[in-house]
């Protein structure tokens, strides 16, 4: 597979004041780019060079740590950037809204559970909304750059939405106040993109 390092779908300052420009710029041009470069360097001439990222993750327990950490970091951030938008916030619509209400009772209940997953992840990691193999929704979290596509994950599924809770995602603006950052995420969450991803996954 040939992997690419994509531009953000919006300007670095587009999520202000909720997510600040400096954080977005460093996060994308330094952190995400470093994952991409280390991942692609590790893939070169390896047995993984011709595999899709989903195939790599499905057998990640057998892969070297450099592939697991940097492949996860590359994939997770690609999803994360598309979970936010300057036109974000508000409420989900359509089939995703129906599924959230059915599974969690209400959007507020869903947010409470997702906030808990994001807040309670000790150290660095991610909170996820996933579609499981039976097409149902699930909230979970993972450590470091792991994700639910990996065969080492506590909860298996395909991520629909991911929230980065590494300190590098919020420390410049929010310092130790991770819950404030999680709260700010809901002001920029891109329900349109997330809803479209959900509909694609359940119709596969
Ligand atoms: Mn990050």
Q: How far is the CA of 155 from the centre of ligand 1 (A)?
A: 20
Q: What is the dihedral of CA 195, 120, 12, 27, to 10 degrees?
A: -120
Using alpha carbons only, give the angle 137, 60, 155 rounded to the nearest 5 degrees.
Answer: 25
- 111-136 pLDDT per residue, tens: 999 999 999 999 999 999 999 999 99
Is the four-CA dihedral 5, 68, 136, 165 of positive or negative sign?
A: negative
Query: In the structure, what pLDDT confidence band is assigned to residue 168 with cuts at 50, 70 and 90?
Result: very high
From the CA of 144, how far away is ligand 1's center (Å)? 10
CA dist 134 and 148 (Å) reads: 14
Q: Which single residue is written with the structure tokens 């992997």?
A: 3
- What integer pLDDT is reported at residue 2 of this predicted model? 85
Q: What is the pTM of this model?
A: 0.97
Cα 166 to ligand 1 centre (Å): 6
- Asked whether the predicted pLDDT for residue 45 surpasses 90, the reply is no
The mean pLDDT of 179-202, rounded to a whole number, is: 98
> Residue holding tokens 């950037």?
81
Q: Per the structure block, which two tokens stand in for 187?
A: 């002001």
For residue 102, the CA-to-ligand 1 centroid distance in Å is 31
* Ligand 1 centroid from CA 77, angstroms: 6
CA pair distance 4, 144, nearest whole angstrom = 22
What's the pLDDT score for residue 1?
A: 64
| Residue 72 burial by Cβ neighbours in a 10 Å radius (0-12, 13-18, 19+) | buried
What are the tokens at 143?
């450590």
**C-alpha of residue 106 to centroid of ligand 1, in Å:** 29
Nearest-angstrom CA–CA distance, 166 and 151: 22
Please determine, for residue 184, whether its predicted confidence score (pLDDT) is greater than 70. Answer: yes
Q: How far is the CA of 17 from the centre of ligand 1 (A)?
A: 18
186 C-alpha vs ligand 1 centroid, how far in Å?
A: 17
State mean pLDDT over 91-115. Answer: 98
- Ligand 1 centroid to Cα of residue 164, in Å, is 6
* Alpha-carbon gap, residue 163 to 169, rounded angstroms: 9
Distance 98 CA to ligand 1 centre (A): 30
CATH number corresponding to 20-204:
3.55.40.20
Residue-wise pLDDT for 27-41, tens only, equals 999 999 999 999 999
100 Cα: distance to centroid of ligand 1 (angstroms): 26
**Contact criterion met (CB below 8 Å) for 137 and 129:** yes
Question: Mean pLDDT across the chain, nearest whole number?
Answer: 97
Q: Kindly state the percentage of the chain with pLDDT values over 70.
A: 100
Task: Give residue limits of the domains in the chain.
Answer: 20-204
Residue 139's φ and ψ, nearest 5 degrees, are -105, 135
Cβ 18 vs Cβ 187: under 8 Å: yes
169 Cα to the center of ligand 1, angstroms: 5
Measured in angstroms, how far is the CA atom of residue 177 from the centroid of ligand 1?
16
Average confidence (pLDDT) over 154-183: 97
User: 124 C-alpha vs ligand 1 centroid, how far in Å?
Assistant: 9
Write down the pLDDT at residue 204. 81
- Predicted local confidence at residue 100, as pLDDT: 98
Helix (H, G, I), strand (E, B) or coil at 16: coil
């Amino acid at each position: 597979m040939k992997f690419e390092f994509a531009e953000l779908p919006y300007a670095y300052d587009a999520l202000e004041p909720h997510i600040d420009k400096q954080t977005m710029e460093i996060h994308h041009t330094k952190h995400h780019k470093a994952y991409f470069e280390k991942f692609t360097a590790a893939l070169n001439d390896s047995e993984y060079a011709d595999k899709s990222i989903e195939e790599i993750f499905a057998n990640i327990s057998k892969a070297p740590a450099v592939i697991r950490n940097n492949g996860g970091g590359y994939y997770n951030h690609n999803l994360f950037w598309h979970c936010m938008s300057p036109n974000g916030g508000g409420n989900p619509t359509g089939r995703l809204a129906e599924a959230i209400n059915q599974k969690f009772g209400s959007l507020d209940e869903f947010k409470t559970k997702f906030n808990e997953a994001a807040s309670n992840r000790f150290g660095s990691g991610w909170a996820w909304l996933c579609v499981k193999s039976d097409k149902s929704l699930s909230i979970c979290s993972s450590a470091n750059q792991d994700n639910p596509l990996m065969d080492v994950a506590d909860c298996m599924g395909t991520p629909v939405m991911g929230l980065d809770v590494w300190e590098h995602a919020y420390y410049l603006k929010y310092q130790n106040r991770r819950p404030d950052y999680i709260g700010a995420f809901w002001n920029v969450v891109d329900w349109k993109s997330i809803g479209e991803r959900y509909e694609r996954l359940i119709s596969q």
